[in-house]
Every structure is written in C-alpha cells, then in structure tokens.
C-alpha cells in the first residue's frame, strides 16, 4: 500500500461519497461522481470527468478532457444501473471516452491491465478489453466488442459491434472491421477489409521464436488457403498439430466466432505466402 496522501485540486468537484485510495491525485476542474472508486496512485489531469458506477484500478493515468463512465450510446438503455471496471496501469489520453454497459447487454464494460489508449479513442458499452493492448488515435470500438490481449487497433479504425479482435492481432489505420479478426493476424482496409497475413513483426517484438511463428504460418495456410470451410479447417488443424497454446487459441476463436472471420487477402499476402 502507498503511504501517499490524496491530492485534490481546490477547483475539482469530487462527490463526498466517492472513494479515493492513497496516492490518488486529482487535477484542476476534474469531476468525480458519487459511485466512483479510484485505487492507489492513479493520476487524473485537468478537466477529466469520471461518473457512473466506475471502478478504476491502481496506477492509471487520465489525460485532460477524457470522459469515463458516461451513459451508453444505445437507444435501448433506460437508466439501468450498469458499471465500468478498469484494471491497473492503464493510460487514457486526451478526449478519450469509455461508456458503461447496458441492461440488455453484459451490464458492464471491462478494461484489463497495462493498456494504452491514445487521444480520441472510444470504448463503447459492454466491451471487454484485455491486457497490454494499444488503441491508436481515434480508434473506435462499437458495443459488445471483445479486444483480446496484446492486440493493436490502428488510428481512425472502426470496429463493428459484436466483433472480436483476437490475441496479438494488428489492425492497420483507417480500417473498417465488420467480422472477427483471427489471433495473430494483420488486417487493413476499408470495405473490403483485407488480410495481410501473420502479424510477424509484432510477434517477434513479443518474443515469439521463428519456430513458433512458422507453426502459426502453417496453420494459417489451412485456414485461409486450403479451400476448406471453417469447420473443415478446424478439423484438419486438430489432426495435424499437437495441442498447444497457439493452436488452442486459434481453434477456440474459430469455434466461437459469431460473425465469421476476415478472410479476403491482399495480393501481396498471396504472393508472399502461397
């Protein structure tokens, strides 16, 4: 536990029933609502608004004019009590928005640990964001979207509601996502969104070995180039590859995809991988 005192600027408006742990710093003209809980050593810069039933973890940072805990932008919402849960060591940059869940959805919006949200990015109602993701400037995810660990959403990209972004996936800038993105993939483009193969550079940066990347590449060939449908590709991967973290991640994702996956590939991907 930190021994630091809570610091609140005299111009801030903090509800007396809000819970602030030790080491929390509240800057000028900040608004903190009644049902907000902020854990140790989180720093909130000027003009930030945190409202609703919102829990913020330890060591987070909020830049000016970010807004957390607002009502969901969903016409079905009728004022039900829903919430937001934010983990530890997240960075929220300027003009970012995160909305709480809906009564007809999960009832909550969840953000894990160690994520970096750049300016103007948006996390809509009922979303679940994992750990160590990066949202670049203006990245927007619609309601009920899942963004898994270590993935990156490119600048000015939009993700359709109910889509899922798999682990270690990379979405290029200005991309429109209307289907699920398989773990470890690179995709980019606006209608149609194109597959650019394995996110090899990102995986190497995360410490993936050449052998591990090659195995992923071989599984991808079955999914994207074998002319098998998804169910057949799943069956073949099960037969040809032993159980393991990456194989199981891909198979689980394919089995649970509700919107289908991005499969149309770019010509460059075809040339490099077929």
Tens digits of per-residue pLDDT, 211-251? Answer: 999 999 999 999 998 989 999 999 999 999 999 999 999 99
Task: Assess whether 136 and 17 both reside in one domain.
Answer: yes
Determine how β-strand 185-188 pairs with β-strand 194-198: antiparallel
Task: Assess whether 86 and 213 both reside in one domain.
Answer: no
Per-residue model confidence (pLDDT) at position 4: 84
Per-residue model confidence (pLDDT) at position 267: 62
What angle in degrees, to the nearest 10, is found between the helix axes of 230-240 and 210-225?
A: 140
Per-residue model confidence (pLDDT) at position 130: 98
Strand pairing partners for 135? Answer: 117, 153
Per-residue model confidence (pLDDT) at position 272: 52
**DSSP string computed for 120-161:** T-EE-TT-EE-SS-EE-TT-EE-TT-EE-TT-EE-TT-EE-T
Task: Assess whether 135 and 237 both reside in one domain.
Answer: no
| Active site residue ranges | 125-126, 143
In-domain check, residue 50: yes
Burial class for 55, CB neighbours closer than 10 Å (0-12, 13-18, 19+) = middle
Burial class for 10, CB neighbours closer than 10 Å (0-12, 13-18, 19+) = exposed
Q: Can you list the residues of the chain whose pLDDT is less than 50?
A: 1-2, 270-271, 273-274
Per-residue model confidence (pLDDT) at position 269: 52
Per-residue model confidence (pLDDT) at position 273: 47
Domain enclosing residue 120, as ranges: 7-144
In-domain check, residue 167: no
Task: Assess whether 12 and 140 both reside in one domain.
Answer: yes
């Amino acid at each position: 536990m930190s021994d630091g005192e809570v610091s609140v600027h005299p111009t801030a408006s903090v509800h007396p029933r809000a819970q602030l742990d030790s080491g929390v710093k509240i800057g000028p003209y900040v608004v903190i609502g009644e049902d907000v809980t902020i854990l140790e050593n989180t720093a909130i810069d000027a003009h930030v608004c945190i409202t609703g039933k919102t829990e913020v973890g330890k060591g987070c940072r909020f830049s000016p004019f970010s807004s957390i805990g607002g009502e969901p932008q969903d016409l079905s919402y009728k004022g039900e009590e829903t919430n937001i849960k934010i983990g530890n060591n997240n960075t929220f940059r300027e003009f970012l928005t995160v909305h709480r869940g809906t009564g007809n959805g999960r009832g909550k919006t969840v953000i894990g640990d160690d994520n970096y949200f750049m300016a103007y990015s948006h996390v809509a109602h009922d979303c679940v964001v994992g750990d160590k993701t990066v949202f670049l400037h203006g990245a927007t995810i619609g309601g009920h979207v899942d963004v898994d660990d270590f993935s990156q959403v490119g600048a000015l990209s939009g993700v359709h509601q109910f889509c899922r972004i798999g682990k270690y996936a990379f979405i290029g800038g200005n991309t429109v996502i209307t289907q699920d993105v398989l773990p470890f993939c690179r995709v980019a483009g606006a209608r149609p969104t194109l597959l650019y193969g394995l996110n090899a550079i990102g995986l190497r940066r995360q410490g993936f070995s050449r052998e591990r990347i090659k195995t992923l590449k071989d599984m991808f060939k079955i999914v994207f180039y074998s002319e098998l449908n998804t169910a057949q590709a799943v069956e073949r991967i099960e037969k040809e590859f032993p159980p393991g973290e990456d194989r199981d991640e891909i198979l689980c994702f394919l089995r649970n995809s509700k919107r289908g996956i991005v499969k149309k590939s770019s010509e460059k991907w075809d040339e490099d991988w077929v």
